[in-house]
């Protein structure tokens, strides 16, 4: 697919994303008041969303990053999740919020949550910008969801095509039409 010659259809505009991120920040602030919040951002896809989200959470919090992989450069999960970079901090006494760009099969989030629970946190919950429940392969429902979307390949706002387009400030799908 020559993405640059195709029509990009905006699925979530920059304005919609910013508004929903503010709403999620307020919800999370309310839910974690009087708790010891530790945000874990799953790299690389969630870095844009996580940065915007943590600035909307009006609490003292810690942030760290994990890198996992199940996609490599394809459009579908390989089905095998690998943790490439783990957090090193002891999570005892923390309420952990795992932030990711998208939940589709649920395999990555499920694997990461299971792994983080071995680090003795008070709780582990999840927050995703995009939820694609029609592709779920495991019993997982994110605790905080930005947008529920149809089963289409999405790009932008942290989500990549190959190694590119993470910097596009909105989420789009590529149509079959040429420009």
User: pLDDT (tens digit, 9 = 90+) per residue, 75-109?
Assistant: 555 567 889 999 989 999 999 999 999 999 899 99
pTM, to two decimals? 0.91
Q: Is the pLDDT of residue 15 over 90?
A: yes
The pLDDT value recorded for residue 163 is 86
For position 179, what pLDDT does the model report?
59
Active-site residue identified among 95, 101, 104, 131? 104
Average pLDDT over residues 12-25: 98
CB-based contacts of 105, cutoff 8 Å, min separation 6: 70, 77, 79, 135, 136, 137, 138
- Helix ranges (H only) for the chain are 14-32, 47-54, 107-117
The answer to whether 104 is a known catalytic residue is: yes
Decide: 153 and 166 in contact? Cβ < 8 Å.
no
pLDDT above 80 for 12: yes
Distance between CA atoms of residues 82 and 19, nearest Å: 33
Q: Hey, what CATH class is 14-149 in?
A: alpha beta
Three-class SS of residue 123?
Answer: strand
């Amino acid at each position: 697919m020559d993405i640059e010659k195709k029509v990009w259809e905006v699925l979530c505009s920059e304005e919609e994303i910013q508004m929903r991120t503010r709403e999620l920040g307020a919800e999370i602030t309310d839910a974690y008041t009087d708790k010891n919040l530790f945000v874990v951002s799953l790299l690389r896809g969630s870095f844009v969303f996580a940065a915007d989200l943590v600035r909307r959470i009006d609490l003292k919090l810690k942030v760290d990053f994990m890198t996992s992989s199940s996609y490599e450069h394809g459009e579908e999960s390989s089905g095998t999740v690998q943790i490439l970079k783990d957090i090193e901090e002891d999570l005892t006494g923390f309420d952990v919020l795992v932030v990711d760009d998208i939940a589709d099969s649920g395999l990555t989030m499920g694997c990461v949550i299971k792994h983080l629970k071995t680090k003795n946190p008070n709780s582990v919950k999840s927050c995703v910008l995009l939820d694609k429940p029609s592709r779920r392969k495991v019993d997982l429902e994110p605790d905080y969801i930005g947008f529920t979307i149809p089963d289409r390949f999405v790009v932008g706002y942290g989500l990549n095509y190959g190694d590119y387009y993470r910097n596009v400030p909105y989420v789009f799908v590529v149509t079959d039409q040429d420009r």
